[in-house]
Structures are given as C-alpha cells and as structure tokens.
C-alpha cells in the first residue's frame, strides 16, 4: 500500500538571472553659438541615471542614460568651458520563460567616459556602462510530510534552518535641496562634473514595514564666475519607509541596492543652486524558515519502496562584505591634482584551491596642472582585487559600490592615487536537499525465530541511523541499550537490539 503524504507549500523567490551586461554608446554634442570654438578637450565625466524597467517574460530591460560633462580649452585661448549632454541607454537581459512577472534589481557602473572634438563646434562623447542585473520571480515548492505512519516504519527526519528571499520590490522618492556653499567658497557658474552616490547607512524590517536611512553623497566640480576650477561636496540625508506585502519575523533582514533615477540643477537669480534628485531603493527581504523534511526510511518488518527528489531552494548561506582599496603610483610630475574620479567595472571571479579570487578592473580619470601650470586630463588604468573562501559548489553573486571619493596628490617622485569601494557577495547553496515524496509499503513478514536478538558491533564512523537501518534496529533502541543520547564516538562497541 502507499503511505499517504500531506503537502505544504514553501513560497519564496528564485532568480531567473543574475549577471552583468555591458553597453557602449556615443553621442555628438554641438556647441551653442554663445560658446567659443574647441581647442582641446581636457576631460569628460558622467552620471548614470535609471529611468525605467520592463519585465518581458523571457527577459528584462532597463532604460536610462548617462548625463555627461565635457571640459575643453577654447581655441582662442579664453577661459576654459564646460558643456553637458545626455547619452541614452537601453540594457537587456535574456532568460528562460517565466510563469509570472517578478522584480528587477539593477546596479549600473560607469566604466569610462571619453570625448574628442570632431570639428571646432562638435564633440563626440562615448560612455561605457557595466550593469549587474537580477530578475527574481515568485516560486512555490511543495513539501511532503507522511501521515498515519505504521509503528514498524522508521523515518529519518531532518530540520534545516534556511534563509530564503521572500519578497522584492522598489521604493522611489525625490529630494529637493538647496546647495549651500561655505561663506569662503566662490559661487557656482557652470558645473564641470556632478556625481551622486546614494548610501544606505541603516535598514531594518519591522514586521510589515521596511525602514531605512542614509544620505546622498553629492560631489561637484564647477567653474566660478572668474573661470576658476572649484570643488565641493554635500551629504544630503534621507529617511524613508515602505509597506511590505506581509509581516516578517524578528530575524528578517533586507538587502538594499540604491540607484539614481533623476538629477536636475537650477540656478536662482541670486546664484544659488537648487537640486532635484530622484532615488530608488531596490530591496529584497530575507527571512528564516525551518524546513522539516523526511530524508530516508525503512521498516524492520517489511520492504519499502521510496521515491526521492532533490528539493532545490535559493538558500542563502552567507553574506560576505569586502572593503576594497586601491593605492597606485603614477609616474608623472605636476603641480596640483584638480580632480580625480575612479570608474570601476563589474568583478570577475576565478575559483582556485578553495578560494574565490576577484579582479575589479577600472580606471582613474585625472584632471591636473602640469609643471608649467597648464590644465591636463589623463586616464590611468588600475585594478582592485579581493579574495574569499568558497566551496566551488556554491553560487556567489557580487554587488559593487564605490561610495568613497578617489584622492590623488603629487609627490617628489610622481603622483599617488587612491580609491575605495565595497563589494558584497551573496553565497547561495546550489546542492539540493533530499526529500522523500512517496513510500510504498510491502506486506509484513513474520520474524525469523533463528535471528539473534542482540548484535555487538563496532561503530566506526557510521551514524546511528545507518547502523540501525543495516542491523534491523531503531535509533531509540540503540540509544537505550547503550545509555547514549547522541552519535557514538568512533570505534566504540555498541549493543544493537534487533527489533
């Protein structure tokens, strides 16, 4: 006969994809009539803006663009000039057909921005973006539990505390701020570079609500009314909350990936700058669940036929946070480092001897004054690295952030450049958990009167379940006969009651 099983449903999220895509786009910027002709391009910078996302069933797309700024020296020798533009982007990911729409999380990095003049009135700007994209869809996994188990049937039940992704979403908001400069700082006439890095300092899941706070780190290089280069930065605090789909336990946590969705600057009549910023917090809620699974079974009085399957759930085993730091020497002399930016790419991992080695290539974008005091722009390649212990059977998803500003200074034998960032690695178990899904019971057979009622056996490194199953006993009977409460030590003799 077949043993009856009840079924319960484990609901969570699974990843349809988690990978990086790269895109490179160019855009021609024409100078307005009021600006002088181009002599030489000094530098170019950008800020990635995400405008929209679309789930397509068998793929997803993210739209937006790069706000770019180009600094150039005019042909007539007049004061340096800055002009801005917009390069649209459309990023796409393909994955197998899904049953239901899910949530999209994207983390775009600006790999590089470069510009060149194609004529006295035109500049060609190229922007390269590397974006880590993740698509999570709802899934339901049935858990099988036997009911009305006969006394002669022994079942191996194991409990697994697992951390699963339960819910994903996005919370968007706007910030309107007036940028106040120190009293001694010159006023802003024209922006040369503007970068916004949103940083979440604290987050917490409170039952059915996600609360978080942080700040937007806004860095700006600008031209003052006299045409001089100036630099300033602001920390713009935010504190927000969003309602979740359900209540979670006190063990629940949230992973938040912030992105910039808008950035506008306006100049008032008195020269003050008002900025309107758009931010979006992409979140995934993780909560702990206890899985109670039947992994094996046998009977002391009959044959059993079992059906098993591997229960595959997106179990997160660990979250590893690595602080990245790059210090690099540059063989070039100069008077002053006017500005330095680090643009990083998505990491590349290589598994070797139980270690996962990460390489994070990128480049410094430097604006400096040479020994003659002339303004120059240059790009210097570099690479960050990190490593972590990892079982090669696990899947590791890396997420990069570069909140720290790059710094550089000239010394007697050249320049020293530094940049920092954070890499967060989510480690997921790829191996499934064994689960019995069906049991067919044979007819009970009479006990053999010739068989022994007691066996003396050396334990070796076998577990009690394996010993009991092999000898026709039970775990409880062996524990009582030997006055033990757990697994025996290796190579001890055990009394095995035969049931």
> Tokens 């990892």 label which residue?
390
What is the rounded CA–CA span in Å between residue 234 and residue 232?
A: 7
Helices H / strands E in the chain, number of each: 2, 25
Question: Do residues 13 and 284 touch, judged by C-beta distance below 8 A?
Answer: yes
Which is it for strands 493-497 and 433-441: parallel, antiparallel or unpaired?
Answer: unpaired
Question: Do residues 66 and 87 touch, judged by C-beta distance below 8 A?
Answer: yes
Which is it for strands 348-352 and 316-330: parallel, antiparallel or unpaired?
Answer: unpaired
pTM score: 0.91
Which is it for strands 273-299 and 253-267: parallel, antiparallel or unpaired?
Answer: antiparallel
What is the rounded CA–CA span in Å between residue 178 and residue 183?
A: 15
What residues contact 390, with CB distance under 8 A and at least 6 apart?
351, 354, 355, 356, 396, 427
Q: What is the pLDDT of residue 444?
A: 84
Q: What is the pLDDT of residue 298?
A: 94
Q: What is the pLDDT of residue 268?
A: 66
Q: What is the pLDDT of residue 100?
A: 87
Tens of pLDDT, residue by residue, the chain (499 residues): 788 999 999 999 999 999 999 999 999 999 999 999 999 999 999 999 999 999 988 999 999 999 999 999 999 999 999 999 999 999 999 999 988 899 999 999 999 999 999 999 999 999 999 999 999 999 999 999 999 999 999 999 999 999 999 999 999 999 998 888 888 889 888 999 999 999 999 999 999 999 999 999 999 999 999 999 999 999 999 999 999 999 999 999 999 999 999 999 886 666 567 899 999 999 999 999 999 999 999 998 889 999 999 999 999 999 999 999 999 999 988 999 999 999 999 999 999 988 999 999 999 999 999 999 999 999 999 999 999 999 999 999 999 998 878 999 999 889 999 999 999 999 999 889 999 999 999 988 877 777 778 888 887 888 899 999 988 899 999 999 999 988 888 888 899 998 8
Q: What is the pLDDT of residue 271?
A: 58
Q: CA 371 from chain center: how many Å? A: 43
């Amino acid at each position: 006969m077949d043993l009856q099983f009840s079924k319960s449903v484990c609901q969570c999220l699974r990843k349809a994809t988690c990978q990086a895509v790269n895109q490179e786009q160019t855009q021609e910027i024409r100078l307005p009539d009021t600006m002088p002709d181009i002599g030489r391009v000094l530098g170019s910078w950008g800020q990635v803006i995400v405008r929209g996302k679309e789930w397509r069933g068998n793929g997803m797309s993210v739209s937006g663009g790069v706000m770019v700024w180009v600094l150039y020296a005019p042909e007539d020798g007049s004061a340096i000039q800055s002009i801005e533009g917009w390069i649209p982007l459309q990023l796409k990911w393909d994955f197998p057909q899904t049953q239901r729409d899910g949530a999209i999380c994207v983390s775009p990095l600006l790999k590089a921005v470069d510009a060149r003049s194609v004529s006295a009135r035109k500049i060609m700007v190229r922007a390269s973006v590397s974006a880590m994209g993740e698509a999570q869809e709802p899934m339901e996994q049935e858990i099988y539990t036997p009911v009305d188990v006969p006394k002669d049937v022994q079942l191996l039940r194991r409990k697994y505390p697992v951390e699963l992704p339960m819910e994903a979403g996005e919370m968007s908001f706007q910030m309107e701020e007036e940028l106040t400069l120190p009293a001694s700082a010159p006023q802003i006439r024209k922006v040369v570079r503007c970068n916004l890095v949103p940083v979440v300092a604290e987050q917490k899941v409170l039952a059915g609500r996600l609360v978080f706070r942080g700040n937007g780190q806004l860095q700006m290089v600008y031209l003052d009314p006299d045409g001089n280069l100036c630099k300033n930065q602001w920390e713009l605090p935010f504190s927000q909350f969003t309602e979740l789909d359900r209540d979670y336990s006190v063990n629940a946590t949230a992973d938040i990936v912030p992105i910039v969705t808008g950035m506008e600057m306006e100049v008032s009549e008195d020269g003050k700058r008002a900025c309107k910023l758009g931010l979006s917090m992409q979140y995934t809620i993780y909560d702990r669940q206890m899985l109670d699974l039947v992994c094996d079974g046998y009977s002391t009085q009959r044959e059993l036929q079992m059906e098993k399957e591997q229960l595959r759930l997106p179990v997160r085993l660990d979250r590893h946070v690595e602080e990245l730091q790059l210090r690099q020497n540059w063989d070039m002399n100069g008077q002053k480092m006017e500005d330095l930016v680090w643009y990083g790419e998505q990491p590349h991992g290589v598994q070797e001897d139980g270690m996962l080695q990460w390489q994070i290539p990128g480049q410094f974008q430097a604006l400096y004054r040479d020994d003659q005091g002339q303004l120059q722009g240059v790009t210097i390649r570099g690479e960050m690295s990190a490593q972590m212990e990892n079982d090669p059977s696990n899947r590791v998803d890396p997420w990069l952030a570069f909140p720290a500003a790059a710094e550089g200074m000239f010394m007697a034998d050249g320049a020293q450049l530094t940049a920092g960032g954070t890499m967060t690695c989510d480690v997921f178990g790829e191996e499934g958990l064994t689960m019995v899904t069906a049991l067919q019971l044979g007819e009970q057979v009479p006990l053999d009167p010739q068989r022994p009622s007691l066996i003396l056996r050396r334990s070796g490194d076998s577990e009690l379940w394996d010993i009991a199953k092999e000898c026709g006993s039970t775990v409880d009977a062996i524990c009582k006969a030997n006055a033990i409460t757990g697994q025996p030590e290796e190579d001890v003799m055990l009394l095995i009651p035969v049931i």
